[in-house]
Protein backbone atom coordinates (compact mmCIF):
# COMPACT_ATOMS: atom_id res chain seq x y z
CA UNK A 1 0.00 0.00 0.00
CA UNK A 2 2.15 2.79 1.28
CA UNK A 3 5.53 1.46 0.36
CA UNK A 4 6.70 4.83 -0.83
CA UNK A 5 9.12 6.77 1.30
CA UNK A 6 9.62 10.49 1.41
CA UNK A 7 13.00 11.64 2.70
CA UNK A 8 13.22 8.42 4.64
CA UNK A 9 9.73 8.71 6.04
CA UNK A 10 6.74 6.60 5.18
CA UNK A 11 3.58 8.24 4.00
CA UNK A 12 1.90 7.75 7.36
CA UNK A 13 4.87 9.27 9.14
CA UNK A 14 4.84 12.28 6.88
CA UNK A 15 1.13 12.67 7.44
CA UNK A 16 1.42 12.53 11.22
CA UNK A 17 4.43 14.82 11.32
CA UNK A 18 3.29 17.56 8.95
CA UNK A 19 -0.50 17.40 9.08
CA UNK A 20 -0.68 20.35 11.47
CA UNK A 21 1.67 22.40 9.36
CA UNK A 22 -0.33 21.85 6.19
CA UNK A 23 -3.60 22.37 8.03
CA UNK A 24 -2.32 25.64 9.51
CA UNK A 25 -1.30 26.94 6.07
CA UNK A 26 -4.67 26.04 4.60
CA UNK A 27 -6.69 27.48 7.45
CA UNK A 28 -4.68 30.68 7.53
CA UNK A 29 -5.10 31.12 3.85
CA UNK A 30 -8.72 30.13 3.37
CA UNK A 31 -10.14 31.05 6.78
CA UNK A 32 -12.58 28.23 6.42
CA UNK A 33 -12.33 24.70 7.77
CA UNK A 34 -14.25 23.05 4.98
CA UNK A 35 -12.26 24.68 2.22
CA UNK A 36 -9.06 24.12 4.13
CA UNK A 37 -9.80 20.42 4.35
CA UNK A 38 -10.11 20.18 0.55
CA UNK A 39 -6.73 21.78 0.06
CA UNK A 40 -5.29 19.69 2.86
CA UNK A 41 -6.38 16.47 1.18
CA UNK A 42 -5.24 17.64 -2.22
CA UNK A 43 -1.82 18.43 -0.86
CA UNK A 44 -1.28 14.90 0.44
CA UNK A 45 -2.82 13.36 -2.67
CA UNK A 46 -0.20 15.15 -4.73
CA UNK A 47 2.49 14.02 -2.37
CA UNK A 48 1.51 10.41 -2.82
CA UNK A 49 0.92 10.56 -6.56
CA UNK A 50 3.97 12.56 -7.57
CA UNK A 51 6.30 11.11 -4.96
CA UNK A 52 9.06 13.68 -5.43
CA UNK A 53 12.60 12.80 -4.50
CA UNK A 54 13.32 14.89 -1.42
CA UNK A 55 16.81 15.62 -0.29
CA UNK A 56 15.84 16.04 3.35
CA UNK A 57 12.92 16.50 5.67
CA UNK A 58 13.37 20.24 5.42
CA UNK A 59 12.92 19.97 1.73
CA UNK A 60 9.88 17.80 2.28
CA UNK A 61 8.29 20.30 4.63
CA UNK A 62 8.94 23.21 2.32
CA UNK A 63 7.45 21.24 -0.53
CA UNK A 64 4.31 20.50 1.45
CA UNK A 65 3.87 24.15 2.45
CA UNK A 66 4.41 25.35 -1.05
CA UNK A 67 1.95 22.86 -2.50
CA UNK A 68 -0.59 23.74 0.17
CA UNK A 69 -0.28 27.44 -0.61
CA UNK A 70 -0.69 26.79 -4.31
CA UNK A 71 -3.68 24.59 -3.66
CA UNK A 72 -5.27 27.36 -1.64
CA UNK A 73 -4.58 29.90 -4.35
CA UNK A 74 -6.05 27.64 -7.00
CA UNK A 75 -9.05 27.00 -4.81
CA UNK A 76 -9.65 30.71 -4.34
CA UNK A 77 -9.22 31.35 -8.03
CA UNK A 78 -11.70 28.63 -8.95
CA UNK A 79 -14.27 29.70 -6.39
CA UNK A 80 -13.73 33.41 -6.51
CA UNK A 81 -17.28 34.31 -7.42
CA UNK A 82 -18.74 31.96 -4.82
CA UNK A 83 -16.33 32.59 -2.00
CA UNK A 84 -17.94 35.61 -0.49
CA UNK A 85 -21.35 34.00 -0.49
CA UNK A 86 -20.12 30.74 0.97
CA UNK A 87 -18.18 32.47 3.64
CA UNK A 88 -21.40 33.85 4.95
CA UNK A 89 -22.95 30.45 5.45
CA UNK A 90 -19.93 28.50 6.51
CA UNK A 91 -18.75 28.31 10.01
CA UNK A 92 -15.59 30.35 10.49
CA UNK A 93 -12.56 29.00 12.19
CA UNK A 94 -13.07 28.62 15.87
CA UNK A 95 -10.21 29.57 18.13
CA UNK A 96 -9.55 29.11 21.73
CA UNK A 97 -9.74 32.20 23.84
CA UNK A 98 -6.04 32.74 24.14
CA UNK A 99 -5.57 32.27 20.40
CA UNK A 100 -8.57 34.16 19.24
CA UNK A 101 -7.21 37.64 19.25
CA UNK A 102 -3.98 36.98 17.45
CA UNK A 103 -5.53 34.61 14.96
CA UNK A 104 -8.43 36.95 14.41
CA UNK A 105 -6.06 39.80 13.77
CA UNK A 106 -3.95 37.70 11.46
CA UNK A 107 -6.99 36.66 9.50
CA UNK A 108 -7.87 40.25 8.88
CA UNK A 109 -4.58 41.06 7.27
CA UNK A 110 -4.10 40.77 3.55
CA UNK A 111 -3.15 37.30 2.27
CA UNK A 112 0.29 38.38 1.11
CA UNK A 113 1.16 39.51 4.64
CA UNK A 114 -0.63 36.63 6.25
CA UNK A 115 1.43 33.99 4.46
CA UNK A 116 4.70 35.60 5.33
CA UNK A 117 3.74 36.20 8.94
CA UNK A 118 2.49 32.67 9.38
CA UNK A 119 5.56 31.08 7.86
CA UNK A 120 7.87 33.32 9.82
CA UNK A 121 6.29 33.18 13.23
CA UNK A 122 4.45 29.88 13.22
CA UNK A 123 6.58 27.63 11.04
CA UNK A 124 9.81 29.27 12.18
CA UNK A 125 11.10 29.72 8.67
CA UNK A 126 13.82 32.18 7.91
CA UNK A 127 13.46 34.90 5.35
CA UNK A 128 15.48 33.07 2.73
CA UNK A 129 13.42 29.93 3.20
CA UNK A 130 10.18 31.86 2.94
CA UNK A 131 11.46 33.51 -0.21
CA UNK A 132 12.23 30.10 -1.66
CA UNK A 133 8.86 28.63 -0.68
CA UNK A 134 6.86 31.54 -2.03
CA UNK A 135 9.11 32.10 -4.99
CA UNK A 136 9.79 35.68 -4.07
CA UNK A 137 12.82 37.84 -3.55
CA UNK A 138 14.16 37.78 0.07
CA UNK A 139 14.02 41.56 0.22
CA UNK A 140 10.40 41.38 -0.80
CA UNK A 141 9.78 38.93 2.01
CA UNK A 142 11.46 41.29 4.46
CA UNK A 143 9.28 44.15 3.28
CA UNK A 144 6.16 42.04 3.56
CA UNK A 145 7.13 40.99 7.06
CA UNK A 146 7.68 44.55 8.18
CA UNK A 147 4.48 45.88 6.69
CA UNK A 148 2.58 42.80 7.86
CA UNK A 149 3.61 43.41 11.44
CA UNK A 150 2.53 47.02 11.20
CA UNK A 151 -0.81 45.99 9.75
CA UNK A 152 -1.24 43.40 12.44
CA UNK A 153 -0.43 45.92 15.12
CA UNK A 154 -2.96 48.33 13.76
CA UNK A 155 -5.62 45.66 13.64
CA UNK A 156 -4.87 44.10 16.99
CA UNK A 157 -3.88 47.27 18.69
CA UNK A 158 -1.06 45.74 20.73
CA UNK A 159 2.70 45.44 20.68
CA UNK A 160 4.39 42.73 18.85
CA UNK A 161 6.20 40.05 20.67
CA UNK A 162 9.77 40.82 19.90
CA UNK A 163 10.56 37.17 19.65
CA UNK A 164 11.86 37.56 16.17
CA UNK A 165 13.49 40.67 14.98
CA UNK A 166 14.05 41.24 11.33
CA UNK B 1 -1.25 47.58 24.77
CA UNK B 2 -1.71 44.01 24.04
CA UNK B 3 1.21 41.95 22.96
CA UNK B 4 1.04 39.63 20.00
CA UNK B 5 2.14 36.12 20.72
CA UNK B 6 2.49 34.38 17.42
CA UNK B 7 3.31 31.11 19.12
CA UNK B 8 -0.36 30.70 19.75
CA UNK B 9 -0.82 30.14 16.03
CA UNK B 10 1.21 26.99 16.28
CA UNK B 11 -1.62 25.42 18.21
CA UNK B 12 -3.63 24.93 15.01
CA UNK B 13 -4.20 21.23 14.92
CA UNK B 14 -5.39 19.25 11.97
CA UNK B 15 -8.64 17.48 12.82
CA UNK B 16 -8.40 13.73 13.26
CA UNK B 17 -10.88 13.21 10.47
CA UNK B 18 -8.59 15.07 8.09
CA UNK B 19 -5.72 12.79 8.98
CA UNK B 20 -7.85 9.65 8.61
CA UNK B 21 -9.02 10.73 5.20
CA UNK B 22 -5.49 11.59 4.13
CA UNK B 23 -4.21 8.28 5.45
CA UNK B 24 -6.69 6.48 3.21
CA UNK B 25 -5.29 8.15 0.08
CA UNK B 26 -2.88 5.28 -0.76
CA UNK B 27 -5.78 2.85 -0.63
CA UNK B 28 -7.77 4.80 -3.16
CA UNK B 29 -7.72 3.44 -6.71
CA UNK B 30 -4.98 5.26 -8.48
CA UNK B 31 -5.70 6.53 -11.91
CA UNK B 32 -3.41 4.84 -14.35
CA UNK B 33 -1.46 7.09 -16.57
CA UNK B 34 -2.54 6.10 -20.02
CA UNK B 35 -0.95 7.27 -23.18
CA UNK B 36 -3.42 9.43 -25.08
CA UNK B 37 -4.85 7.48 -27.99
CA UNK B 38 -5.11 10.51 -30.21
CA UNK B 39 -1.37 10.97 -29.99
CA UNK B 40 -0.82 7.42 -31.17
CA UNK B 41 -3.26 7.93 -34.03
CA UNK B 42 -1.68 11.23 -35.03
CA UNK B 43 1.81 9.77 -35.02
CA UNK B 44 0.67 6.76 -37.02
CA UNK B 45 -1.02 9.03 -39.55
CA UNK B 46 2.05 11.15 -40.01
CA UNK B 47 4.22 8.09 -40.49
CA UNK B 48 1.75 6.58 -42.95
CA UNK B 49 1.50 9.72 -45.04
CA UNK B 50 5.27 10.07 -45.08
CA UNK B 51 5.76 6.49 -46.22
CA UNK B 52 3.14 6.79 -48.94
CA UNK B 53 4.66 10.02 -50.16
CA UNK B 54 8.13 8.54 -50.20
CA UNK B 55 6.99 5.45 -52.09
CA UNK B 56 5.12 7.59 -54.59
CA UNK B 57 8.16 9.72 -55.12
CA UNK B 58 10.38 6.72 -55.61
CA UNK B 59 7.92 5.14 -58.01
CA UNK B 60 8.37 8.01 -60.42
CA UNK B 61 12.05 7.31 -60.75
CA UNK B 62 13.78 9.72 -63.10
CA UNK B 63 10.54 10.79 -64.69
CA UNK B 64 8.96 13.80 -63.18
CA UNK B 65 5.22 13.45 -62.75
CA UNK B 66 4.68 16.89 -64.20
CA UNK B 67 6.83 18.41 -66.88
CA UNK B 68 6.72 22.14 -67.19
CA UNK B 69 6.75 23.26 -70.75
CA UNK B 70 6.28 26.58 -72.43
CA UNK B 71 3.36 26.94 -74.77
CA UNK B 72 2.10 23.55 -73.72
CA UNK B 73 -1.32 24.36 -75.11
CA UNK B 74 0.16 24.57 -78.61
CA UNK B 75 1.61 21.09 -78.42
CA UNK B 76 -1.60 19.22 -77.77
CA UNK B 77 -1.41 15.90 -79.55
CA UNK B 78 -4.33 13.68 -80.45
CA UNK B 79 -4.93 10.77 -78.17
CA UNK B 80 -5.76 7.24 -79.12
CA UNK B 81 -9.24 7.64 -77.77
CA UNK B 82 -10.03 10.64 -79.91
CA UNK B 83 -12.32 9.99 -82.82
CA UNK B 84 -11.13 12.91 -84.87
CA UNK B 85 -8.11 15.11 -85.00
CA UNK B 86 -8.76 18.77 -85.44
CA UNK B 87 -6.14 21.20 -86.53
CA UNK B 88 -6.51 24.77 -87.70
CA UNK B 89 -6.32 25.61 -91.36
CA UNK B 90 -3.52 28.12 -91.51
CA UNK B 91 -4.05 28.84 -95.17
CA UNK B 92 -0.55 27.90 -96.26
CA UNK B 93 -1.30 24.25 -96.61
CA UNK B 94 -3.85 23.34 -99.21
CA UNK B 95 -6.56 21.02 -98.09
CA UNK B 96 -8.32 18.48 -100.23
CA UNK B 97 -11.39 20.62 -100.46
CA UNK B 98 -9.36 23.54 -101.64
CA UNK B 99 -7.71 21.52 -104.37
CA UNK B 100 -10.35 19.19 -105.68
CA UNK B 101 -12.90 21.80 -106.72
CA UNK B 102 -10.27 23.30 -108.98
CA UNK B 103 -10.21 20.10 -110.96
CA UNK B 104 -13.49 19.84 -112.86
CA UNK B 105 -15.13 16.47 -112.81
CA UNK B 106 -16.50 15.10 -116.03
CA UNK B 107 -18.98 12.28 -116.03
CA UNK B 108 -20.28 10.57 -119.18
CA UNK B 109 -23.73 9.86 -117.85
CA UNK B 110 -25.39 13.03 -118.99
CA UNK B 111 -28.50 12.30 -121.03
CA UNK B 112 -27.73 14.99 -123.57
CA UNK B 113 -24.23 13.77 -124.10
CA UNK B 114 -22.64 16.95 -122.83
CA UNK B 115 -19.95 16.76 -120.21
CA UNK B 116 -21.29 16.97 -116.70
CA UNK B 117 -19.14 18.83 -114.23
CA UNK B 118 -19.29 17.99 -110.56
CA UNK B 119 -22.32 15.82 -110.74
CA UNK B 120 -23.22 15.23 -107.12
CA UNK B 121 -25.71 12.52 -108.03
CA UNK B 122 -23.11 10.22 -109.46
CA UNK B 123 -23.16 7.19 -107.17
CA UNK B 124 -19.51 6.34 -107.57
CA UNK B 125 -18.51 9.94 -107.07
CA UNK B 126 -20.46 10.22 -103.89
CA UNK B 127 -19.03 7.01 -102.50
CA UNK B 128 -15.44 7.76 -103.35
CA UNK B 129 -15.69 11.35 -102.24
CA UNK B 130 -16.97 10.29 -98.89
CA UNK B 131 -14.04 7.96 -98.44
CA UNK B 132 -11.38 10.37 -99.58
CA UNK B 133 -12.41 13.90 -98.94
CA UNK B 134 -11.87 15.07 -95.41
CA UNK B 135 -15.01 16.49 -93.92
CA UNK B 136 -14.85 20.07 -92.88
CA UNK B 137 -16.06 21.53 -89.68
CA UNK B 138 -17.05 25.12 -89.41
CA UNK B 139 -17.06 27.06 -86.26
CA UNK B 140 -17.13 30.65 -85.25
CA UNK B 141 -13.39 31.06 -85.22
CA UNK B 142 -12.79 29.98 -88.76
CA UNK B 143 -12.45 26.98 -90.99
CA UNK B 144 -11.01 23.79 -89.56
CA UNK B 145 -10.43 20.59 -91.42
CA UNK B 146 -11.31 17.42 -89.58
CA UNK B 147 -9.54 14.33 -90.72
CA UNK B 148 -10.61 10.97 -89.42
CA UNK B 149 -8.17 9.49 -86.98
CA UNK B 150 -7.51 6.46 -89.08
CA UNK B 151 -6.37 8.53 -91.99
CA UNK B 152 -4.35 10.83 -89.79
CA UNK B 153 -2.56 7.99 -88.07
CA UNK B 154 -2.19 5.64 -91.00
CA UNK B 155 -3.06 7.26 -94.26
CA UNK B 156 -2.34 4.05 -96.20
CA UNK B 157 -4.99 2.10 -94.37
CA UNK B 158 -7.45 2.73 -97.18
CA UNK B 159 -5.53 0.26 -99.36
CA UNK B 160 -5.12 -3.17 -97.80
CA UNK B 161 -1.47 -3.78 -97.18
CA UNK B 162 -1.86 -7.51 -97.64
CA UNK B 163 -2.81 -6.94 -101.24
CA UNK B 164 0.23 -4.82 -101.95
CA UNK B 165 3.05 -6.98 -103.36
CA UNK B 166 6.69 -6.43 -102.61
CA UNK B 167 8.00 -3.65 -104.85
CA UNK B 168 11.24 -5.43 -105.68
CA UNK B 169 9.72 -8.76 -106.67
CA UNK B 170 6.98 -7.62 -108.98
CA UNK B 171 7.63 -6.42 -112.49
CA UNK B 172 5.39 -3.94 -114.16
CA UNK B 173 1.99 -5.61 -114.11
CA UNK B 174 0.32 -6.20 -117.43
CA UNK B 175 -3.06 -5.98 -115.83
CA UNK B 176 -3.66 -3.61 -112.96
CA UNK B 177 -5.39 -5.02 -109.91
CA UNK B 178 -9.10 -4.75 -109.78
CA UNK B 179 -9.58 -3.90 -106.12
CA UNK B 180 -11.59 -0.86 -105.26
CA UNK B 181 -9.68 2.32 -104.78
CA UNK B 182 -10.50 5.37 -102.78
CA UNK B 183 -9.00 7.95 -105.12
CA UNK B 184 -10.88 9.45 -107.99
CA UNK B 185 -9.00 10.96 -110.92
CA UNK B 186 -10.09 13.70 -113.20
CA UNK B 187 -9.55 13.55 -116.90
CA UNK B 188 -9.51 16.69 -118.85
CA UNK B 189 -8.61 18.08 -122.16
CA UNK B 190 -5.70 20.42 -122.04
CA UNK B 191 -4.83 22.47 -125.07
CA UNK B 192 -6.72 20.17 -127.36
CA UNK B 193 -5.03 17.03 -126.05
CA UNK B 194 -6.32 14.33 -123.75
CA UNK B 195 -4.92 14.35 -120.25
CA UNK B 196 -5.56 12.11 -117.24
CA UNK B 197 -5.00 13.64 -113.83
CA UNK B 198 -5.45 12.51 -110.26
CA UNK B 199 -4.58 13.68 -106.76
CA UNK B 200 -3.87 11.21 -103.97
CA UNK B 201 -1.88 11.13 -100.75
CA UNK B 202 1.85 10.89 -101.08
CA UNK B 203 1.91 8.16 -98.48
CA UNK B 204 0.38 5.80 -101.03
CA UNK B 205 3.43 5.85 -103.26
CA UNK B 206 7.02 4.87 -102.83
CA UNK B 207 9.48 7.56 -103.58
CA UNK B 208 11.64 6.86 -106.63
CA UNK B 209 9.37 4.20 -108.04
CA UNK B 210 7.63 5.11 -111.29
CA UNK B 211 3.89 5.49 -111.47
CA UNK B 212 2.13 4.09 -114.46
CA UNK B 213 -1.20 4.70 -116.05
CA UNK B 214 -3.48 2.43 -117.95
CA UNK B 215 -6.63 3.43 -119.73
CA UNK B 216 -9.21 2.11 -122.05
CA UNK B 217 -12.14 3.31 -124.00
CA UNK B 218 -15.43 2.16 -122.68
CA UNK B 219 -16.56 -0.96 -124.52
CA UNK B 220 -13.09 -1.85 -125.73
CA UNK B 221 -10.20 -3.77 -124.38
CA UNK B 222 -7.18 -2.17 -122.78
CA UNK B 223 -4.89 -0.13 -124.90
CA UNK B 224 -1.60 -1.40 -126.21
CA UNK B 225 1.12 -2.54 -123.84
CA UNK B 226 3.61 0.01 -125.03
CA UNK B 227 1.49 2.86 -123.79
CA UNK B 228 1.28 1.38 -120.30
CA UNK B 229 5.05 1.42 -120.04
CA UNK B 230 5.14 5.17 -120.17
CA UNK B 231 5.72 6.68 -116.76
CA UNK B 232 3.35 9.22 -115.32
CA UNK B 233 4.46 12.67 -114.49
CA UNK B 234 3.67 13.45 -110.90
CA UNK B 235 4.45 16.12 -108.39
CA UNK B 236 4.48 15.82 -104.60
CA UNK B 237 2.92 18.95 -103.20
CA UNK B 238 3.58 20.63 -99.89
CA UNK B 239 0.34 19.45 -98.43
CA UNK B 240 1.42 15.82 -98.72
CA UNK B 241 -0.64 15.13 -101.81
CA UNK B 242 0.56 13.89 -105.17
CA UNK B 243 -0.70 15.40 -108.37
CA UNK B 244 -0.26 12.90 -111.23
CA UNK B 245 -0.85 13.59 -114.88
CA UNK B 246 -0.65 11.35 -117.92
CA UNK B 247 -1.07 12.28 -121.54
CA UNK B 248 -1.78 9.42 -123.92
CA UNK B 249 0.72 9.39 -126.75
CA UNK B 250 -0.71 9.82 -130.22
CA UNK B 251 -4.04 8.59 -129.22
CA UNK B 252 -6.42 9.52 -131.99
CA UNK B 253 -9.95 9.92 -130.85
CA UNK B 254 -12.70 10.74 -133.20
CA UNK B 255 -15.28 13.41 -133.16
CA UNK B 256 -17.89 11.25 -131.58
CA UNK B 257 -18.13 11.33 -127.78
CA UNK B 258 -15.72 8.87 -126.29
CA UNK B 259 -15.37 7.92 -122.68
CA UNK B 260 -12.06 6.73 -121.28
CA UNK B 261 -11.51 4.92 -118.04
CA UNK B 262 -8.01 5.17 -116.59
CA UNK B 263 -6.14 4.40 -113.42
CA UNK B 264 -2.79 5.25 -111.92
CA UNK B 265 -0.86 2.46 -110.21
CA UNK B 266 2.53 1.70 -108.76
CA UNK B 267 3.94 -1.72 -108.02
CA UNK B 268 0.56 -3.29 -108.56
CA UNK B 269 -1.18 -0.94 -106.17
CA UNK B 270 -3.94 1.22 -107.58
CA UNK B 271 -3.44 4.84 -106.67
CA UNK B 272 -6.31 6.55 -108.46
CA UNK B 273 -9.01 5.81 -110.98
CA UNK B 274 -11.04 8.10 -113.17
CA UNK B 275 -13.02 8.64 -116.30
CA UNK B 276 -13.00 11.30 -118.92
CA UNK B 277 -15.27 11.95 -121.85
CA UNK B 278 -14.05 13.79 -124.88
- Indicate the range of A14-18, B107-111, B148-152, B166-170 predicted with least confidence: B148-152
Q: How far is CA B227 from CA B173, B224, B232, in A?
A: 13, 6, 11
Q: How far apart are CA B272 and CA B185, in angstroms?
A: 6
Helix residue spans in A31-158 (DSSP H): 33-50, 57-78, 80-89, 97-108, 111-117, 127-134, 138-156
- CA distance, residue A72 to nearest chain B CA (Å): 16
Per-residue pLDDT of chain A (166 residues; tens, 9 = 90+): 447 888 888 899 999 999 988 998 888 888 788 888 999 999 999 998 888 888 888 899 889 999 999 998 888 888 765 555 445 444 555 555 555 556 777 777 888 888 888 888 877 788 998 898 888 899 999 999 999 888 888 877 655 444 444 3
Residues of B in contact with A121 (CB under 8 A): 6-7, 9
Structure confidence by residue, pLDDT tens digits, B186-207: 656 555 577 788 888 888 888 7
On whether any CB of chain A is under 8 Å from the CB of B26, the answer is yes
- pLDDT for position B270: 84
Q: What is the DSSP letter of B156?
A: G
Mean of per-residue pLDDT scores for chain B: 66
Per-residue b or e along B101-116, where b marks 16 or more CB atoms closer than 10 Å to that residue's CB: eebebbbbeeeeeebb
Cβ atoms of A73 and A119 within 8 Å: the answer is no
Q: How far is CA B47 from CA A138, B56, B58, B61, in A?
A: 51, 14, 16, 22
Residues of B in contact with A158 (CB under 8 A): 1-4
Q: How far apart are CA B50 and CA B44, in angstroms?
A: 10
Q: Which residue, among A34, A160, A162, would best test binding to B if mutated, counting the most B CBs under 10 Å from its CB?
A: A160
Q: Which residue, among B1, B15, B20, B25, would best test binding to A if mutated, counting the most A CBs under 10 Å from its CB?
A: B25
Per-residue pLDDT for B138 more than 60? no
- pLDDT for position B140: 45
On whether any CB of chain A is under 8 Å from the CB of B10, the answer is yes
Per-residue b or e along A52-87, where b marks 16 or more CB atoms closer than 10 Å to that residue's CB: eebeeeeebbbbbbbbbbebbeebeeeeeeebeeee
User: What pTM was computed for the model?
Assistant: 0.41
On whether any CB of chain B is under 8 Å from the CB of A165, the answer is no
On whether any CB of chain B is under 8 Å from the CB of A23, the answer is yes
Per-residue pLDDT for B102 more than 50? yes
Cβ atoms of A139 and A71 within 8 Å: the answer is no
- pLDDT for position A34: 85
Structure confidence by residue, pLDDT tens digits, A55-83: 888 899 889 999 999 998 888 888 765 55
Confidence band of B42 (pLDDT split at 50, 70, 90) = very high
DSSP structure string for B66-130:
S---TTGGGG----TT-SEEEEE--SSSPPHHHHGGGS--EETT-TTSS-EES-TT-HHHHHHHH
Amino acid sequence: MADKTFAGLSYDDVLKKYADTVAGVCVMRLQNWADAEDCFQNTFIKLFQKSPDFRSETHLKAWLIRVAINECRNYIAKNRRFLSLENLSREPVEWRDNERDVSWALMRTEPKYREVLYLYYCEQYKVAEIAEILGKNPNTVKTLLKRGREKLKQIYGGDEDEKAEL
Amino acid sequence: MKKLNFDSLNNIKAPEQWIKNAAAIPELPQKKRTFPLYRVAAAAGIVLVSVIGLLTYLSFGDHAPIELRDNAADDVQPTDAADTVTFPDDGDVLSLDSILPTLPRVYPTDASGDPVIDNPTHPQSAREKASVTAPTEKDGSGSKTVIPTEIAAEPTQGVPSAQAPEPTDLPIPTEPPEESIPIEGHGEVIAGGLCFTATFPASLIEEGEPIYCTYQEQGYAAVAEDQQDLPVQYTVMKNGMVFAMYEPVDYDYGEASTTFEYMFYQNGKVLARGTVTV
